[in-house]
Amino acid sequence: MEIGRRIRELRTAHGMSQDDLAARVYVSRQTISSWENGKTYPDVQSLLLLSDIFDVTVDSLIKGDVDTMTETIDRDVQTMKRLSYVMTVFILLMVAALIWLSVQLSVWDWSLEQTVPTAVLALVLWGVAMFAAAWADRIKRDHDLITYQEILSFWYGEPVDRDTERGRRERAIPGWMRAVRSVGMVVLAAAVGYLCARYGVQLLQGLLG
C-alpha cells in the first residue's frame, strides 16, 4: 500500500530508524514495521503525529489508501467486538458448567468418573474463551493498544491518544512481563470462577438444608 511505502520513504529521508519514529509516535517498533509492510494502518491520531513529524499533509500520506484503511480498521473493530462477546458468553457458560460440576460432586456425591463429561465441557468452554481472548489480544497488538482508554477509544472509533502517563509506563514494561501478567490474570479468573461455583453450591445447600 502507498501509505506504508510513504512512511518508509519519509522516515529514511529524515534519517530516522524505526525505533526513533516509534518513540515519537508513541507506538512500538513492531507497529512501525507493520505499517511499512502494509499489514496494519495508522489510526487518526498516529496520522496526525506522522504528518507533523514529517511536515507533510495527511492527504499526502494516505493518498488513495483511505478507503482500504477505513475498511481494515472497521473490520478489526467489529472483529474485536464479536470476540469480546464470544469470550464473555463462553466464560459465563464455563462458570455454569463449574457450578453443575460442584452440584454433581457435593450434592449428588457422584464419583470422579461420572463427572468427567462435565469437567471436559468446562475445559472446552474455557478453551474457546481463551482462543477468543488470544485473537482479540492479537488485534490489540496489531494496533498497539495497551491501556483500557486506548482500547475504548479504538472500540468507539475515536482517536487513540497514546501519549499519556499510563501509556508510557505500560510501554516501558518488557513484552515478556506483560505476557506473564496476562497468563496470571487468566489463571486467576479461572480460579475465581471455580471458587465462586464451589462456595455458591455450598451456600445453596445451607439455604436448602
Same domain for 156 and 118? yes
Q: What is the pLDDT along the chain (209 residues), one digit of tens a residue?
A: 688 999 999 999 999 999 999 999 999 898 999 999 988 889 888 999 999 999 998 888 887 677 788 888 899 999 999 999 999 999 889 888 888 888 888 778 888 788 899 989 999 998 999 899 889 989 998 889 989 899 999 998 888 888 888 888 887 877 778 778 777 777 777 677 667 766 666 666 666 55
The pLDDT of residue 1: 63
Q: Choose one of 66, 85, 100: the last residue of a domain.
A: 66
Residue 63 zone, left/alpha/beta (φ > 0; ψ -120 to 50; rest): left
Work out the angle between the directed axes of helices 116-142 and 29-36 (0-180°, nearest 10).
70
Q: Choose one of 36, 66, 96: the last residue of a domain.
A: 66
Buried-state track 108-143, b at ≥16 Cβ within 10 A, e below 16? eeeeeeebeebeebbeebbebbbebbeebeebebbb
Torsion of CA 66, 41, 2, 8, to 10 degrees: 150
| Three-state helix/strand/coil letters over the chain | CHHHHHHHHHHHHCCCCHHHHHHHHCCCHHHHHHHHCCCCCCCHHHHHHHHHHHCCCHHHHHHHHHHHHHHHHHHHHHHHHHHHHHHHHHHHHHHHHHHHHHHHHHHCCCCCCCCHHHHHHHHHHHHHHHHHHHHHHHHHHHCCCCCHHHHHHHHCCCCCCCCCHHHHHHHCCCHHHHHHHHHHHHHHHHHHHHHHHHHHHHHHHHHHC
Same domain for 158 and 189? yes
Same domain for 85 and 178? yes
The pLDDT of residue 206: 65
Closest by CA to 146, choosing from 167, 120, 124, 130, is 167
Distance CA 31, CA 47 (A): 13
The pLDDT of residue 197: 64
Same domain for 86 and 137? yes
Instruction: Read off the pTM.
Output: 0.76
Q: Which structural domain, as residue segments, surrounds residue 102?
A: 76-208
The pLDDT of residue 82: 96
Any domain includes 28: yes
Domain total in the chain: 2
CATH assignment of the domain containing 59: 1.10.260.40
Closest by CA to 35, choosing from 56, 15, 8, is 8
